[in-house]
Amino acid sequence: MKKLLPVVATVLVLVLSIVSCTPSTAPAETTAPAPTQPSGAIAWNEAKYHFGERATVYGAVVDTHWASGSKGKPTFLNIGKPYPDPDRFTVVIWIDYRANFPQAPEVYYLGKTIYITGLITEYNGVAQIEAKDPSQIQEQ
C-alpha cells in the first residue's frame, strides 16, 4: 500500500492539473462586424427597374475597360456580369472626370464590391450610373 500511495498521488496531481487547465465555459465567439450597407441600396441586377431614379447600386466589379480610343474616352466598370452581357450594370467614368480618381479606376475597382450612388440611366438596354467623383463610390 505504501508503494501505491506515491503513484495515486501523482495521478491525482496530473488529473487536477488537466482539469484546472480546461476552461469551464466555452470561449466567447469573436465575429467580424458585418459591413454596413447604405440604407436603401439596391442590387445591381435590380437597377434596370429604377431608370430615372437617383439611387445607390451595389455589386462586384467583374470586368473593366478604359476605352481610351473612343469618343469621350470612357472607363467602364461592369458589375455582376462582364461586357457584352446585356444584363450587366455599368459604371461609366468619362475622361473629363477620370483625373478626379487617385488611381486608374479600371485597375483599382476590379474585383471589389462597390456601392455607386447617382442617377440610374439606360444605354442600349443596360442600366448605368455615370461617376464624376470617387465620393460616389464606396467599397465594401
At 10 the pLDDT is 52
The answer to the question of residue 27 being in a domain is no
At 35 the pLDDT is 52
At 3 the pLDDT is 60
Pairing mode, strands 126-130 and 113-119: unpaired
At 132 the pLDDT is 98
The answer to the question of residue 26 being in a domain is no
Q: Which range of residues forms the domain containing residue 120?
A: 42-139
Q: Where are the alpha helices (DSSP H) in the chain?
A: 4-21, 95-98, 105-108
Residue 59 contacts by C-beta under 8 Å, 6 or more apart in sequence? Answer: 43, 44, 45, 79, 80, 89, 113, 114
43-46, long-range: CB < 8 A, 24+ apart: 44/79, 44/80, 44/88, 44/89, 44/127, 45/80, 45/87, 45/89
The answer to the question of residue 69 being in a domain is yes
What whole-number distance in Å separates Cα of residue 81 and Cα of residue 92? 15
At 36 the pLDDT is 63
The answer to the question of residue 60 being in a domain is yes
All three cell numbers of 4, joined, read 501505491
In this structure, the chain runs to a length of: 140
Residuewise pLDDT in 10s, the chain (140 residues): 556 545 544 544 444 455 454 444 444 444 444 456 678 999 999 999 999 999 999 999 999 999 999 999 999 999 999 999 999 999 999 999 999 999 999 999 999 999 999 999 999 999 999 999 999 999 98
What whole-number distance in Å separates Cα of residue 120 and Cα of residue 125? 12
At 39 the pLDDT is 84
The answer to the question of residue 132 being in a domain is yes
What angle is formed at CA 45 by the lines to CA 130 and CA 43, rounded to 5 degrees?
80
The answer to the question of residue 29 being in a domain is no
What CATH number is associated with residue 85? 2.40.50.140
The answer to the question of residue 8 being in a domain is no
The answer to the question of residue 64 being in a domain is yes
What whole-number distance in Å separates Cα of residue 95 and Cα of residue 92? 10
* Count of the separate structural domains present in the chain: 1
